[in-house]
Structure 1
Amino acid sequence: MSSPEDVLHLKRLKETEPIQNAWDNWTTTREALRETTALLGDPDLRSMASEDHAMLIESLTDIIKTTFPAILVPPSRTAHLSALVELKSGVGGSEASLFLGEMLRMYLRLAQAFRWKADVVTSSELDGGGIRDAVVEFKGAGAYDTLRWESGVHRVQRVPATEQSGRLHTSTVAIVVLPLMEESEANDEALYSMDDIKIEVMRSRGAGGQHVNKTESAVRLTHIPSGITVAMQDERSQHTNRRRAFQVLASRLMEAKLIREMEARRASRRNLVKSADRSDKIRTYNWPQERVTDHRIGLSLRNLTSVMEGDGLQDFVAAMKRDHEETQMEEALLE
């Protein structure tokens, strides 16, 4: 019968097996490349060797870009989480609201591509066709890890349809992406104690007349230790508003926890990294130049129409994912 020490040793060997296999593949391919490179000087073998040389270079590149990151980057703690996305129009008045509506449709198309279930929880539509703010749930594994890089200020530069002089306007939309926490997940993470929650119920504020809610269906939660407050009044049922309010509160507390952990790791290494401050303008959408620029990774692509109406947003999602994995690899090597 195996001892606990033997079982632990076998488990560790099993965990390191993919690393050993990847390293063996790397060293074997690299050695084959050296031998092939030597054959390039032989006129009789140059043609055949050049084909093998290109294939081996491609294999080594794939190992570096795909195999090693997949092994060295630790599994994401939030890979299973859905996402709660808040969109708020910023500077630019009606133009910002119009842009917000276009961004909302952009994210709903992304949800279809990844086969997430999208539910617009709230949406404040304006008479001019724009949207002042909106909250959307994206339910599906990987939704939070994919969308979290969208948090920040998105800037649009274009000539509004109502602009007579052709002057370029700049407007902004602020995006906040939170991990969507179900009650059981919040309990598992021990995000809050009910003793720390102040619960208030009140009448929903409406437009007046027949729209005034005659019952106390609105709910406001206050997390006393952090001061985070969540108010929900969009549903007529107090029970539904309460459930949604606790869901949003748990999401915000989980995000705060993730940020604290990330900052603690960075501080411990005294490593300067890119800021995650939401006040930063993270991306610019320039209509005259048909250009989208992500300022965090310095990536500019002239595919604005594809980003807004097709699958171009996935290019930026993939680039941010690669950048994150490379950062994690660097941190792992420092450890």
Structure 2
Amino acid sequence: MSKTIKELEALVQPWEEWKRASAALEETVPLLQDSDPSLRSLAEEESVALQETLNTLVQEVLPPLLLPVSPTQDVSALVEIKAGAGGEEAGLFAGDLLRMYTRYVDLWGRDVSARGDPSGASGKGWKTTIISESLTATTGGRPAYKEVTLEIKGRGAYDTFRWETGVHRVQRVPATETSGRMHTSAVAVVVLPLTENETEGDAALFEVDEKDVRLEVMRARGAGGQHVNKTESAVRLTHIPTGITVSMQDSRSQHTNKQYAWKVLRSRLFDRKLREDAERNRDTRRTLIKGMDRSDKIRTYNYVQDRVTDHRTGFSTMNLSNVLDGEGLEVIIDSCRKRNEEDAMAGLLNDG
């Protein structure tokens, strides 16, 4: 009950404001016909201001508050970044995206309830941890990643970063390119819901039966010296009903590898459940932004034109460095969020 009350609190203030503005507008109607010019002029000014307030409430404030509450509003996120076509250049851009996301959390990573509130302390509630990484090279002090998994813990992290799922394309002239030709590379980003049954709400939302998971331990492979040959620290988890497999060997501790492997496995299974639910729900499927499929190209970063374009909403900005520094990414994510809210409201109206 307390959770429901908290969810409805956001609707109370704008609804009360709507009623006050509507009542005040009705009171100005007779004054617009008053014989006193000065009084009539004041009534006209007040009427215009009240109509603007009502329009703002109807068009911008109330619609998202009337939408069904997201089932993942309290869920954290796992962000998997994998270099695709483009060789080392793709690996370098994977590192750029990793920095962009960590910078975004530093700048905007407050509790979702404080978003847009000037009094909300920056950084409140969200924390980032790299739980797995695979480097291909380091160029000029910049790491090139084959793949990296970033944990973003905090209320609302998944619902914010879910719009990053898809293929990110970069067009730029590599530092090693002597002829000045522009190269096109791609990086795939998959954002998964992270739930670890830390709260009663998470436990009710999604659980994994440990009896359905097969655990295997083995010696780590690759660089690592004598430790690799002597310690069985690598862990592989297999979810038998679905066949989903997660391997982890980044840490020298088998316990730590097991802990991280469980995080990734739960997230992938939770993501699978959400997608299956969406497929079964016609309304949910219809209101998803085009391009949510993880194989779709969602965004292009063009260094030559200093431009970033999101292909789902058509939003473009000419300040690429601001986006990669994390600050400008909020505008792009917000455009995806608003587009989704508009589509969801259209779906509700059509059903009505």
Shorter-chain TM-score: what band? 0.7 to 0.9
Distance 1:311 1:50 in 2: 41
Please give the TM-score of this superposition, normalised by the length of structure 2: 0.80
Selected match of 2:153 from 110, 120, 139: 139
Distance 1:272 1:200 in 2: 38
- The one-letter code matched in structure 2 to 1:230 is V
Q: 2:220 is paired with a residue of what secondary structure?
A: coil
1:306 aligns with 2:300: no
Look up the match of 2:138.
127
Look up the match of 1:7.
none
Q: Superposition pairs for residues 248-263 of structure 1, below 5 Å? A: 248-263=264-279
- The one-letter code matched in structure 2 to 1:265 is N
Q: Which moved more, 1:120-129 or 1:132-141?
A: 120-129
| CA drift at 1:23 | 6.1
1:191-240 Cα offsets, whole Å, 9 max, x none, are: 33223211111111122643524122111111111111111111122222
Q: Superposition pairs for residues 31-110 of structure 1, below 5 Å? A: 48=42, 51-52=45-46, 54-110=48-104
Please give the TM-score of this superposition, normalised by the length of structure 1: 0.84
Selected match of 1:274 from 284, 290, 300: 290
Gaps of 5+ in 1: 1-10
1:27-85 Cα offsets, whole Å, 9 max, x none, are: 5477579889x78xx99789756744552343133212433224311222211111111
Selected match of 2:307 from 285, 288, 291: 291
Distance 2:18 2:41 in 1: 29
Distance 1:32 1:72 in 2: 28
Over the residues paired in the alignment, what is the CA RMSD in angstroms? 3.2
Distance 2:285 2:95 in 1: 41
Distance 1:239 1:271 in 2: 41
Distance 2:48 2:322 in 1: 32
Contact 1:30 1:60 (8 Å CA) reproduced: no
Distance 1:151 1:283 in 2: 10
- The share of aligned pairs that are identical, in percent, is 50
Gaps of 5+ in 2: 110-122
Distance 1:92 1:33 in 2: 65
Look up the match of 1:164.
178
Look up the match of 2:341.
325
Contact 1:87 1:174 (8 Å CA) reproduced: yes
Distance 1:218 1:249 in 2: 15
1:118 aligns with 2:128: yes
1:242-291 Cα offsets, whole Å, 9 max, x none, are: 12111111111111111111222227987896242111100111111111
Residues 81 and 273 (structure 1 numbering): CA distance in 2 closer, same or farther, change over 3 Å? closer
Residues 35 and 171 (structure 1 numbering): CA distance in 2 closer, same or farther, change over 3 Å? farther
Distance 1:25 1:227 in 2: 57
Selected match of 2:256 from 240, 243, 254: 240
